[in-house]
């Protein structure tokens, strides 16, 4: 927290609350059976996307994964349209075509959640290539989990970004499990250590510490913007829920989950804010306001119309003969 | 006969084959206990057979299939799991350039006795990357066998055959069948069904419906409806093996009914149905007026919204309609 000012922290705290609120509401709805498909909750991991996005501009890009609600909220998505997408309504970000696992908004630089583990890594490298060729100041951030680092796509994408010094920051949310498989089983080395294999900086931080993430992301993103190439940022954190909503999580002990809940990233920021003069009452009000925001967002999301079945095959191809911008 | 679920039948096949042959090894993502596989097909295997023979892998689909190839050509009989068939894109080189071709390229020196089990398919709002049926990709590759069972008994007997086969087998399990219950012979009977042989799942005289995996069930339901509503007796041929497919059984049925519908959940364009239809045309053209209909998914990725997904992916209603269309064309042909 060396570099952040107190008045900057409150909005970040709010962003963390909004992610938690969104996930809480979505989980409830999913458990009620009103949302189709799968749902992956990021509760417990809120500090990572908030600490990273604090340094991103609207025209910067992110790639996300199956556990992407936090990434996209922190990048500016409107929860009303997110809920609409989760409900598969035409008012959703993908007009009901994508759902939670593919949520995208190119106007916000959100290349999308992804159903294929590891797929976002080389795509982020490609976005970085685009910025480098077009000589913009943009950066691309790729979010992925500890499970993704054992895919070929991860290795190839990292290496390409490294050799071409692309403006990309690779953010691994190491929550120590890929579905049921422990990170320590799936790899002999720590994740940040792998950066050495590509000749780029690898930084490991406490991903439940907003300030640690904020500082490390700042350095990495500034470096990328300055044309000095990519960084691999490992943020150690934990998902409180099962792999998907409904997964009983038989592969983790209750004690392990409880232990991590004690390291909850949200109250850590609240404590910091209180010790820096923000009134408890103000924070309570903020928390209540966010709960209300998500309740109403879910309600409004559900109001959107269901897609017209006759439009089912729309958008498979772009219309031909139209020059690409 | 006792009745068990498809997922239990498949699990029994794995247990029995691992007990029978200690060259059989199983690996894949999340397949070991306590998880026992994303769909619980491998539950209990790692506990009984231990970590030497049953292993979780990292999320490394190229390495999973590649390691299966390497193990298969050096003395093991790997049964590797790819969690969703949609992820086979990542394994593609190992499947189509390695597994499928090593026997041929080596001049027959070595066989590649591996099984890749995967599940997937539409019907659960899983959207574009978790709901595809991709058998046509692999049906285009000489050297691979593609098995797609439609019921628990076949699931078990064909998985056993796949494990005993000296060829690389892709074993597709349609997700919507896992909780289907059916008669399955006792383990002592050790029933093994041959790969490459179709089965007449329902006899009929008016039209042949060729289907496999989940579509066989829908074809059987469609046949019931057609009998009730139209008095049409449809014969359902459950293809069971998509490659190499059983031409003889299909042609025998067609010779009897003189009309055919091929139905699959996979995209219609470039689908396996096109191959079957074309073959029947070629073989039967000079003997009868050939009337064939094809049922397959519309040419689109699978949308998330359930009301769009059902629009794209065919089911019983589309089979019934296709049968009616073909039979009305046959009537016209007869009049002509
Ligand atoms: C290529 C591919 N393989 C497997 C899967 C199935 N799958 C989805 S999420 C997941 C675990 C991912 O773990 P991690 O990357 O650590 O992310 P986390 O779920 O922990 O956030 C797996 C195996 C997939 N979607 N894509
Ligand atoms: Mg993980």
The closest residue, in CA terms, to atom 20 on ligand 1 is A178
Q: What is the ipTM of this complex?
A: 0.96
Judge: A36–B306 Cβ closer than 8 Å, yes or no.
yes
What residues form DSSP beta bridges with B292?
Answer: B260
Provide the shortest C-alpha distance from residue B96 to chain A (in Å).
Answer: 18
Please report whether residue B14 resides in a domain: yes
Q: Would you state the pLDDT for residue A323?
A: 62
Top mutation candidate among B57, B59, B86 for ligand 1, by most atoms within 8 Å of CB: B59
Alpha-helix residue ranges (DSSP H) falling in chain B: 6-20, 45-53, 61-72, 88-93, 102-105, 135-139, 152-164, 214-230, 247-257, 272-284, 306-312, 316-335
Please report whether residue A318 resides in a domain: no
Contact B238, B149 (CB under 8 A): no
Judge: A98–B127 Cβ closer than 8 Å, yes or no.
yes
Q: Would you state the pLDDT for residue B286?
A: 85
- A38: Cβ contacts below 8 Å, ≥ 6 apart: A66, A100, A101, A244, A245, B126, B130
What residues form DSSP beta bridges with B182?
Answer: B4
- A319: Cβ contacts below 8 Å, ≥ 6 apart: none
Provide mean pLDDT across the span A258-266: 98
Q: Which one, of B13, B29, B23, B117, lies nearest residue B72 by Cα? A: B23
Provide mean pLDDT across the span A162-176: 98
**Domain check: are A277 and A227 in the same one?**
no
Q: Would you state the pLDDT for residue A324?
A: 57
CA angle at B141 for the pair B140 and B145, rounded to the nearest 5°: 105
Residues flanking ligand 1, CB < 6 Å: A 66-67, 115-118, 144-148, 175, 177-179, 239, 243; B 29, 59, 61, 83, 87, 90
**Domain check: are B182 and B245 in the same one?**
no
Provide mean pLDDT across the span A16-40: 98
Q: Let me know how long chain B is.
A: 336
> What's A217's domain CATH number?
3.40.50.970
Confidence of residue A184 (pLDDT cuts 50, 70, 90): very high
* Residue at a domain's end among A263, A279, A306: A263
**Domain check: are A24 and A11 in the same one?**
yes
Provide the shortest C-alpha distance from residue A8 to chain B (in Å).
Answer: 38
Q: Which one, of A115, A163, A112, A99, lies nearest residue A142 by Cα? A: A112
Provide mean pLDDT across the span A91-117: 97
Top mutation candidate among A19, A66, A175 for ligand 1, by most atoms within 8 Å of CB: A66
Provide mean pLDDT across the span A260-287: 97
Contact A102, A112 (CB under 8 A): yes
* Residue at a domain's end among A241, A263, A285: A263
- A198: Cβ contacts below 8 Å, ≥ 6 apart: A158, A159, A161, A162, A230, A232
| Spacing, Cα B189 to ligand 1 middle (Å) | 39
Cβ atoms within 10 Å, residue B174: 25
Q: Which one, of B86, B76, B37, lies nearest residue B57 by Cα? A: B37
**Domain check: are A81 and A108 in the same one?**
yes
Please report whether residue B41 resides in a domain: yes
What whole-number distance in Å separates Cα of residue A175 and Cα of residue A189? 15
Provide mean pLDDT across the span A155-171: 98
**Domain check: are A97 and A181 in the same one?**
yes
**Domain check: are A136 and A125 in the same one?**
yes
The token pair that represents A147 in the structure block:
């499970």
Percent of chain A with pLDDT over 90: 95
Provide mean pLDDT across the span A45-50: 98
Top mutation candidate among A100, A118, A147 for ligand 1, by most atoms within 8 Å of CB: A147
**Domain check: are A250 and A287 in the same one?**
no
> What's the mean pLDDT when you consider all of chain A?
96
CB nearest to A309's CB, from B62, B63, B308: B308
**Domain check: are B223 and B167 in the same one?**
no
> What's B90's domain CATH number?
3.40.50.970
The token pair that represents B289 in the structure block:
């007026």
Query: Containing domain of residue A239, as a range?
Result: 56-263
The closest residue, in CA terms, to atom 11 on ligand 1 is A178
Please report whether residue B194 resides in a domain: no
**Domain check: are B178 and B282 in the same one?**
no
**Domain check: are B106 and B203 in the same one?**
no
**Domain check: are B221 and B169 in the same one?**
no
**Domain check: are B9 and B149 in the same one?**
yes
What whole-number distance in Å separates Cα of residue B4 and Cα of residue A179? 28
> What's the mean pLDDT when you consider all of chain B?
97
Nearest ligand for residue A42 CA: 1
Number of domains chain A contains:
2
Q: In chain A, what residues touch B311 (CB-CB under 8 Å)?
A: 309-310, 312
* Residue at a domain's end among B141, B171, B189: B189
**Domain check: are B142 and B215 in the same one?**
no
**Domain check: are A23 and A152 in the same one?**
no
**Domain check: are B218 and B184 in the same one?**
no
* Residue at a domain's end among B141, B164, B189: B189
Please report whether residue A115 resides in a domain: yes
**Domain check: are A287 and A257 in the same one?**
no
Longest dimension (CA), chain B: 68
Give catalytic status of residue B275 as yes or no.
no
* Residue at a domain's end among B171, B189, B207: B189
Cα B259 to its chain centre, rounded Å, is: 23
Q: Would you state the pLDDT for residue A35?
A: 98
Query: Containing domain of residue B116, as a range?
Result: 2-189
Cα B235 to its chain centre, rounded Å, is: 19
Confidence of residue B336 (pLDDT cuts 50, 70, 90): very low
Query: What predicted TM-score, i.e. pTM, was given to this entire model?
Result: 0.96
- In chain B, the N- to C-terminal Cα span, in Å, equals 50
**Domain check: are B177 and B204 in the same one?**
no
The token pair that represents B139 in the structure block:
């049906």
**Domain check: are A255 and A271 in the same one?**
no
**Domain check: are A3 and A110 in the same one?**
no
Please report whether residue A230 resides in a domain: yes
CA angle at A269 for the pair A264 and A271, rounded to the nearest 5°: 100
> What's B311's domain CATH number?
3.40.50.920
Q: Which one, of A157, A128, A156, lies nearest residue A224 by Cα? A: A128
Interface test with B, best of A93, A181, A244 (most B CBs within 10 A): A181
**Domain check: are A238 and A285 in the same one?**
no
CB nearest to B300's CB, from A101, A116, A316: A316
Give catalytic status of residue B264 as yes or no.
no
Q: Would you state the pLDDT for residue A325?
A: 53
Q: Would you state the pLDDT for residue B272?
A: 98
**Domain check: are B155 and B287 in the same one?**
no
Alpha-helix residue ranges (DSSP H) falling in B122-213: 135-139, 152-164
**Domain check: are B181 and B239 in the same one?**
no
What whole-number distance in Å separates Cα of residue A151 and Cα of residue B61? 7
Please report whether residue A170 resides in a domain: yes
The predicted-structure confidence for B248-264, as pLDDT tens digits, reads as follows 999 999 999 999 999 99
User: Over 80: is that where the pLDDT of A5 sits?
Assistant: no
Percent of chain B with pLDDT over 90: 95
The predicted-structure confidence for B102-143, as pLDDT tens digits, reads as follows 999 999 999 999 999 999 999 999 999 999 999 999 999 999
Q: In chain B, what residues touch A150 (CB-CB under 8 Å)?
A: 58-60
Provide mean pLDDT across the span B211-216: 98
**Domain check: are A21 and A75 in the same one?**
no
**Domain check: are B283 and B143 in the same one?**
no
Q: Which one of B8, B12, B29, B61 is the catalytic residue? A: B61
Please report whether residue B122 resides in a domain: yes
- Hey, is A89 helix, strand or coil? coil
Number of domains chain B contains:
2
Contact A114, A33 (CB under 8 A): no
Confidence of residue B333 (pLDDT cuts 50, 70, 90): low
Please report whether residue B288 resides in a domain: yes
Please report whether residue A73 resides in a domain: yes
The closest residue, in CA terms, to atom 12 on ligand 1 is A178
| Spacing, Cα A179 to ligand 1 middle (Å) | 6
What whole-number distance in Å separates Cα of residue A136 and Cα of residue A58? 13
Provide mean pLDDT across the span B187-213: 98
Please report the residues numbered 260 through 319 in chain B whose beta carbons come closer than 8 angstroms to any beta carbon of chain A: 298-301, 303-308, 310-312
The closest residue, in CA terms, to atom 17 on ligand 1 is A145
């Amino acid at each position: 927290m060396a570099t952040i000012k107190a008045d900057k922290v409150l909005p970040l705290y709010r962003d963390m609350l909004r992610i938690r609120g969104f996930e809480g509401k979505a989980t409830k709805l999913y458990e009620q059976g009103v949302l189709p498909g799968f749902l992956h909750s990021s509760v417990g991991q809120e500090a990572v996307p908030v600490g990273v996005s604090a340094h991103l501009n609207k025209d910067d890009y992110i790639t996300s994964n199956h556990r992407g609600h936090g990434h996209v909220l922190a990048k500016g998505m409107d929860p009303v349209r997110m809920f609409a997408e989760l409900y598969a309504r035409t008012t959703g970000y993908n007009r009901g075509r994508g759902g939670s696992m593919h949520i995208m908004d190119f106007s916000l630089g959100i290349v999308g959640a992804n159903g294929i583990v590891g797929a976002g890594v080389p795509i982020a490298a490609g976005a970085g290539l685009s910025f480098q060729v077009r000589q913009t100041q943009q950066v691309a951030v790729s979010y992925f989990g500890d499970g993704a680092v054992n895919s070929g796509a991860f290795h190839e994408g990292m290496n390409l970004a490294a050799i071409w010094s692309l403006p990309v920051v690779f953010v691994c949310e190491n929550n120590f499990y890929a579905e049921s498989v422990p990170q320590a089983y799936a790899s002999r080395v720590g994740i940040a250590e792998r950066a050495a294999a590509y000749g780029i900086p690898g930084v490991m931080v406490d991903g439940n510490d907003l300030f640690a993430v904020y500082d490390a992301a700042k350095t990495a993103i500034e470096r990328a913007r300055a044309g000095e190439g990519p960084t691999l940022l490992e943020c150690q954190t934990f998902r409180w829920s099962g792999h998907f909503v409904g997964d009983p999580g038989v592969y983790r002990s209750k004690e392990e989950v409880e232990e991590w809940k004690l390291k909850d990233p949200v109250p850590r920021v609240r404590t910091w804010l209180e010790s820096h003069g923000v009134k408890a009452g103000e924070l309570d009000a903020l928390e209540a306001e966010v709960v209300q925001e998500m309740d109403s967002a879910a309600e409004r999301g559900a109001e959107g119309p269901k897609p017209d079945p006759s439009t089912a095959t729309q958008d498979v191809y772009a219309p031909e003969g139209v020059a690409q911008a | 006969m006792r009745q068990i679920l498809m997922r239990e039948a498949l699990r029994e096949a794995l247990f029995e084959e691992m007990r029978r042959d200690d060259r059989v090894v199983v690996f894949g993502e999340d397949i070991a206990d306590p998880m026992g596989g994303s769909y619980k097909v491998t539950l209990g295997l790692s506990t009984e057979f231990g970590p030497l023979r049953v292993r979780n892998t990292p999320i490394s689909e190229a390495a999973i299939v590649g390691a299966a190839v390497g193990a298969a050509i050096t003395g093991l009989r790997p049964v590797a799991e790819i969690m969703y068939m949609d992820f086979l894109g990542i394994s593609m080189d190992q499947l189509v350039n390695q597994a499928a071709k090593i026997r041929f390229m080596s001049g027959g020196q070595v066989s590649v006795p591996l099984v890749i089990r995967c599940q997937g398919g539409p019907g659960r709002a899983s959207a574009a990357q978790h709901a595809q049926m991709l058998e046509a990709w692999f049906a285009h590759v000489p050297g691979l066998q593609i098995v797609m069972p439609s019921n628990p008994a076949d699931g078990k007997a064909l998985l056993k055959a796949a494990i005993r086969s000296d060829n690389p087998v892709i074993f597709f399990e349609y997700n919507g069948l896992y909780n289907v219950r059916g008669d399955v012979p006792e383990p002592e009977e050790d029933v093994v069904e041959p790969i490459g042989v179709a089965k007449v799942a329902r006899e009929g005289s008016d039209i042949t419906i060729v289907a496999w995996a989940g579509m066989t069930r829908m074809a059987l339901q469609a046949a019931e409806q057609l009998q009730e509503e139209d008095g049409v007796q449809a014969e359902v041929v459950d293809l069971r093996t998509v490659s190499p497919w059983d031409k003889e059984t299909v042609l025998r049925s067609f010779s009897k009914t003189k009309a055919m519908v091929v139905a699959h959940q996979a995209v219609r364009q470039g689908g396996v149905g096109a191959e079957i239809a074309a073959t029947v045309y070629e073989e039967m053209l000079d003997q009868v007026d050939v009337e064939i209909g094809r049922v397959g998914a519309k040419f689109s990725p699978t949308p998330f919204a359930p009301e769009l997904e059902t629009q794209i992916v065919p089911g019983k209603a589309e089979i019934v309609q296709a049968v009616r269309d073909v039979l009305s064309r046959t009537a016209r042909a007869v009049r002509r």
